[in-house]
Amino acid sequence: MAFLIVQALTGLASAASLFLIASGLSIIFGVTRIVNFAHGAFTMIGAYLAYSLTERLGGAFGFWFGLFAAAVAVAAIGAATEILLLRRIYKAPELFQLLATFGVTLMVQDLVILAWGPEDLLGRRAPGFTGAVMILGQRVPAYDLFLVAAGPVVLGALWLLFNRTRWGILVRAATQDRDMVAALGVDQKWLFTSVFALGVFLAGLGGALQIPREAVSHSMDLRVIVEVFVVVVIGGLGSVPGAFLAAVIVSEINAFGILIFPKISIVVVFLVMAVVLVVRPFGLFGRPEAARRTTPGATIRPWQPLGRAGRIAVAVLVSALAAAPAFAGPYLLSVGAEILLFVVFAASLQFLMSVGGLASFGHAAYFGLGSYGAALAVKWLGAPMEAAILAGPVLAGLGGILFGWFCVRLSGVYFAMLTLAFAQIAWSIAFQWVAVTGGDNGILGVWPTAWASKPAAFYWLSLMVATVSVAALRILAFSPFGYRLRAVRDSTLRAEAIGIDRLSTQWIAFAVAGAVAGLAGALYAFLKGNVFPDALAIPTSVDGLVMVLLGGLETVSGAAIGAVAFKALSIWLMSQTDYSKLVLGAIIVVLVVFLPKGLGGLADLVRPSGTGRNDASGSSPSEAAR
Amino acid sequence: MTVVVDVDGIHKSYGGVHAVRGVSFRLAAGEMLALIGPNGAGKSTCFNMLHGQIKPDRGRITILGRDTTRLDPRRIWALGVGRTFQITATFGSMTVIENVQVALVSADAALAWRLGALGTLKRAEAERLLALVGLADQAGRPCGELAYGDLKRLELAVALSNDPKVLLMDEPTAGMAPAERIDLMRLTAEIARERGLGVLFTEHDMDVVFEHADRIMVLDRGNLIAEGSPTAVRHDPKVREVYLGGGSTFAAETEVAAPAPGGAQ
Amino acid sequence: MQTGIGRRMVLAGALGGAFMAATASFAAAQTIKIGEINSYSGLPAFTEPYRKGWQLAVDEINAAGGVLGKKLEVVSKDDGGKPADAVTAANELVSSDQVVMLTGTFFSHIGLAVSDFAKQKKVLFLAAEPLTDAVTLAKGHKYVLRLRPQNYAQAAMLAEEAAKLPAKKWATIAPNYEYGQSAVAVFKELLSKKRPDIQWVAEQWPTQGKIEAGAVVQAIAAAEPEAILNVTFGPDLVKLVREGNTRGLFEKRAVASFLTGEPEYLDPLKDETPAGWIVTGYPWYDVKIAEHAAFLKAYQAKYNDYPRLGSVVGYMTMKSAAAIIAKAGSTDTDKMIAAAKGLEVPSPFGKIVFRASDGQSTLGAFVGKTAVKDGKGVMVDSVYRDGAAYMPSEDMVKALRPAD
């Protein structure tokens, strides 16, 4: 019994910093609708700054002041980020801020290494809380007890802030209804900046408070961001008490789960999230998002199929690409094939996001299932390459049908997070089921058959698959089904009122997107000769998102451009420098600010609005993103 | 006279609020039936139950001879029920004519799963519908560019695309200029009579109601308190009590409730 | 810097075809190029000392006249911690930079991916740091060699010491992936063979990089083991040690711990280093091997920093590569493979040999105990264990390794 109580206390201590960081993220999302991917990076900066300050200042006062000052400094950095970067792009399509904060995260990862060095830094223990306290005959770290108390104290302070101050009441009102608060004459700019600063302050504080518990390392951010997102979603977006409860639930399930299943922590948060979202589509304390108000009168240019000139241009481009083996060496051809396969992957995600209005954060699952489908067919069935490549999309399509059935029942960020949860569950299966998948050591020896083993042959194969896939997805987008999918995206109410079933329409789109991603994954396995769980891990999903956003969310096929730009740039930078993330992040940030419609939106700059055939719909941000 | 909608004692509560308490009425083919009442009287709840968005707690709804009490909006549409919304719901990323084409093609099982482009499918029919509501010259424009009144017309065209027998119109003229209101309702009434369509509509603009309704029902706090011809309802003391009890007049009510053009958002 | 030339050439390659080919063949005439891949951006704490190590080796080799009368040049690439990107890098090195062999890698799965690529392209791959036994056993082939003592050898060294302890009830804590799993499996097998009386009372498998240290420590303590095997490292180890120290987990308990004596992992623990753990590692401050003194002096002179284990591995990677080419008298892959069999190379730890049967080098490790000295964690009572005595037997190699 004593053991169980102490285990519960340990769980609560872990919950505290998780809650702090998560509540910051939740507040930011609630008011600004920014999916702040950089939240983990801010947490990490908080920890690094706290380390430096506490080492330099010394003494008990120095320690506590150092923690607080670090959090304040992070808040200032956050406010600066909001003013200099995010403020410029509030009008951009939803999720575009995700791309901006992703760029910031990439930069921060390299910047902290430049500033603090690559080694893990072990900070001081908290003065006054260095030892342990005996509870029921068991030793509990005093600092854990401090954290157990700190969680509710912060929760209480936030409650007072939001219920007893004018600013807090405004924030709550803005969480409920932004437009109304704007209509009441509140200066939204500074409200957003202050909310962002508060959220980031909590992130910084959460990071700083970890100093006495763990080493500060440059990989903290990604570990934090995913877990915190999950907590926010389980609790319900925008709900601070929800974040608290979710942090406690996740931490306690982890603390007790490892007693029964010692390997559970790899997937526990995602299992909890999947179950919660299936049962409660808006998290524990969340409310359905208010129906978005469309803005009639906004200039919107509907998509058009390619005209004659467009088709000729595409034919010329494909022919030119097909001629590449005449002058490019084997390495460039392999890189070309890789880029083309990512074009397919990005196009499949774009079909889901742009045509379907369903932003998936877990599209890597289907890419990875495609890779594993092909690799398993080779390994266990001895299938030839041609058959194995078909096994990929089949497995991915089945995965899409299974996971999609649950996912399309949700919408918005909840949908995105459920796709993430399923992707992580698929990842952990690939990672843990060593007997079948080889675990993290992967499946090796998935090489193409003789006719495709020459780089030129594989390049042509990839070019053909990319051309056919992108064209097929375009045709589908302009078919009656594609129109129904867009109809559901634009106005579910109207779509249902003219007999279109939202669920089945989106479900089919989900499965199609999954199967096409799986095709890319299957070929990718043969390109690399192997498959590892990385193929379905979060970074692959994020890469896909970045490609779509970079290419232009409001376009039909801009993701192809985004994929080429992003993949070529990252391969080239990685080959050239160890600080590829810093450069890539900076490029993304610059692109976000100057090209809010993505690279595909470049066409808009060339052609004045309202003329000519154009991919870009140029719709109001809310419409296309929904 | 053919009854196209038969509502029998429907109830709906949200939490502790009893929004609709045992409402019963019938709608005949070719009839323009108005449902009026102060804000919060339960009009929209009634509409949403008829259209399947909300399911009644009790009671029964029969449309065109079929029990639709538990049916979803898309099944109700398939029976032949068109709907327009209080806040227009259109497909903002499409052109005006594509909005209508989607509706037409979706209703046609033979075309719905074609893999070719939507292109010119059902284009002629869509043009006819647009001409009917006076939007023929706007067919190629992006839906998002339309004036609010035109969006309302587009909704009507879309609602008519299934050749419905029943039309549910929730505040069809809200946000329109007075002249436009009369045009649209006159058009609706014509179509209703020509095609034998039963039209149920709610409306804040009492001029519109008394001008175009064949029959009026008055809802107050979830109860139907009066029903009859415009003249009968105008002079019903209970109605006067509801509307005038607070010291307001029909005219004042109109002023307060009808949002300024374009301001309905 | 050697890498600079390689990078500029790549840039040329990205810009156009013919010019690059000309430059490459021109350069190839005067240098021998070796390809190198590691997780520089993902794991700088380990790969920076490693890079310094191989750069020192290249300087020494070229100062002594190079190999086969040509300068040795290393073209180095980052793999970003991803096997797919490592294969891209390997492809670039082999196809564009025309290196004569591949070297490097840290993570096991990346080592395996590059190894499989090397097998497919028939290029020699000298794996520097990946520990998984699969590199030379289950997934072994004639194109792969490995420098660092593998998982099995590390486990055998620790199990030998652990068997001398009186403890009978053991618990294990290991990261939940192949490395942790196979480390625990081999340790258990070897220790149980020597001490059939040992019971395994608890196991914890925290997620790599995400240990819930408090909960894990509690769970292990609840099983009341007399000794603990730890396989966690890096940030996880730091958290585990802090929680374990505060909660008294390590009091009156013996601990055997993989790799903890390597400066990379020991240094961050500072004065909180738990005393008396049996660890494998590299006490650079306390190595009594003559060859090491020269290496240490040269390293400190060049970098004004002390070497980590990665420094030695990086240093030996290029020294071994040069020795293979020198003995082969050619950069022909088959000749290099033949030359590598049984090749002897002098190292800071004394002579090492690349075993003919599986390409594993006999580079060993130091086994000793942890202690705190001047507020820093150190290894004391350390003894160098030659890898030859601890690597998998020839019988195991026959049983596990696919025929070439």
Q: How many CB atoms lie within 10 A of CB B60?
A: 15
Within 13 Å and on the Cβ side, how many CA atoms surround C197?
7
**CB spacing of A296 vs B151 below 8 angstroms:** yes
pLDDT at position A32: 84
Of C92, C178, C207, Cβ closest to residue A575:
C92
Burial call A445-454: b when 16+ CB within 10 Å, e when fewer? ebbbeeebee
Q: Which CATH architecture has domain A326-625?
A: Orthogonal Bundle (1.10)
Scanning A183-242 for CB atoms below 8 A from C yields 212-215, 217-219, 223, 227
pLDDT at position A324: 93
What residues of chain C lie within 8 A of the CB of A542, using their CB?
Answer: none
The better pLDDT of the pair C359, B257 is held by: C359
Q: What DSSP state is assigned to residue C330?
A: S
At A604, is the pLDDT very low, low, confident or very high (cuts 50, 70, 90)? low
Q: Domain B3-257, what fold?
A: Rossmann fold (3.40.50)
CB A220 within 8 A of CB A44: yes
Nearest-angstrom CA–CA distance, C58 and C50:
13
Please give the interface size between A and B, counted as residue pairs whose CB atoms are below 8 Å apart.
145
Nearest-angstrom CA–CA distance, A222 and A39:
9
CB A365 within 8 A of CB A426: yes
Give B156-225 as a DSSP string: HHHHGGG--SEEEEESTTTT--HHHHHHHHHHHHHHHHHHT-EEEEE-S-HHHHHHH-SEEEEEETTEEE
Within 13 Å and on the Cβ side, how many CA atoms surround B245?
8
pLDDT at position B252: 37
Against chain C, the chains showing at least 3 CB pairs within 8 Å are A
Nearest-angstrom CA–CA distance, A115 and A84:
22
CB A274 within 8 A of CB A418: yes
Q: What DSSP state is assigned to residue A264?
A: G
Nearest-angstrom CA–CA distance, A276 and A257:
17
Domains, chain C, in order of start with CATH, read 2-149+289-363 (3.40.50.2300), 152-285+365-394 (3.40.50.2300)
Which tens digits make up the pLDDT trace of B95-135?
999 999 999 998 888 888 888 888 888 899 999 999 998 89
In chain A, the percentage of residues whose pLDDT exceeds 90 is: 56
Scanning B95-124 for CB atoms below 8 A from A yields 95, 98, 101-103, 105-107, 111-119, 121
Average predicted confidence (pLDDT) for chain A: 88
Nearest-angstrom CA–CA distance, A482 and A331:
38
Two tokens, residue A596? 């809010």
Average predicted confidence (pLDDT) for chain C: 90
Question: Domain map of chain B by residue range?
Answer: 3-257
CB B226 within 8 A of CB B218: yes
Which tens digits make up the pLDDT trace of A316-358?
999 999 999 999 899 999 999 999 999 999 999 999 999 999 9
In chain A, the percentage of residues whose pLDDT exceeds 70 is: 94
**CB spacing of B98 vs A483 below 8 angstroms:** yes
Choice among B1-10, C1-10, C80-89 with the minimum mean pLDDT: C1-10
**B91 Cβ under 8 Å from any chain A Cβ:** yes
Q: How many CB atoms lie within 10 A of CB A253?
A: 17
**CB spacing of B107 vs A498 below 8 angstroms:** yes
Two tokens, residue A332? 């460039």
Nearest-angstrom CA–CA distance, B254 and C3:
80
Task: Specify the length of chain B in residues.
Answer: 265
Taking the CA of residue A489 and the nearest CA in chain B, the distance in Å comes to 8
What residues of chain A lie within 8 A of the CB of C213, using their CB?
Answer: 213-214
The complex's ipTM works out to 0.87
Average pLDDT over residues B225-229: 89
Residues 6+ apart with CB under 8 A from C311: C49, C50, C52, C53, C56, C299
Scanning C262-291 for CB atoms below 8 A from A yields 267-270, 272
Question: Domain map of chain A by residue range?
Answer: 2-218, 326-625
**CB spacing of A113 vs C210 below 8 angstroms:** no
Which tens digits make up the pLDDT trace of A201-234?
999 999 999 999 888 988 888 888 888 988 998 9
At A616, is the pLDDT very low, low, confident or very high (cuts 50, 70, 90)? very low
Which tens digits make up the pLDDT trace of B130-160?
999 889 999 999 888 888 888 989 999 999 9
pLDDT at position B237: 85
Average pLDDT over residues A166-192: 80
Q: Which of B193, B214, B206 lies closest to B30, judged by CA?
A: B193
Give C158-214 as a DSSP string: HHHHHTTS---EEEEE--SSHHHHHHHHHHHHHHHHH-TT-EEEEEE-PPTT---HH
Two tokens, residue B183? 């045009």
Average pLDDT over residues C55-71: 95
> Counting beta carbons within 10 angstroms of the beta carbon of residue A326, is it exposed (0 to 12), middle (13 to 18) or buried (19 or more)?
exposed
Distances (CA, A) of C363 to C149, C336, C385: 6, 20, 9
**C40 Cβ under 8 Å from any chain A Cβ:** yes
pLDDT > 80? residue A178: no
Nearest-angstrom CA–CA distance, B68 and B49:
10
pLDDT at position A605: 53
At A290, is the pLDDT very low, low, confident or very high (cuts 50, 70, 90)? low
pLDDT at position B160: 92
Nearest-angstrom CA–CA distance, C290 and A6:
52
**Helix or strand holding residue C147 (H, E):** none
Of C43, C109, C234, Cβ closest to residue A441:
C109
Residues 6+ apart with CB under 8 A from A187: none
pLDDT > 80? residue A296: no
Nearest-angstrom CA–CA distance, B151 and C201:
73
Distances (CA, A) of A533 to A371, A400, C238: 10, 18, 27
Which residue type occupies A17?
Answer: S
**CB spacing of A266 vs C207 below 8 angstroms:** yes
Which tens digits make up the pLDDT trace of C153-203?
999 999 999 999 999 999 999 999 888 998 999 999 999 999 999 999 999
Average predicted confidence (pLDDT) for chain B: 85
**B68 Cβ under 8 Å from any chain A Cβ:** no
Which tens digits make up the pLDDT trace of C202-253?
999 998 888 889 999 999 999 999 999 999 998 899 999 999 999 999 999 9
**CB spacing of B115 vs A301 below 8 angstroms:** no
Give A47-87 as a DSSP string: HHHHHHHHHHH-HHHHHHHHHHHHHHHHHHHHHHHHHHTGG
Which residue type occupies B168?
Answer: L
Q: How many CB atoms lie within 10 A of CB A275?
A: 12
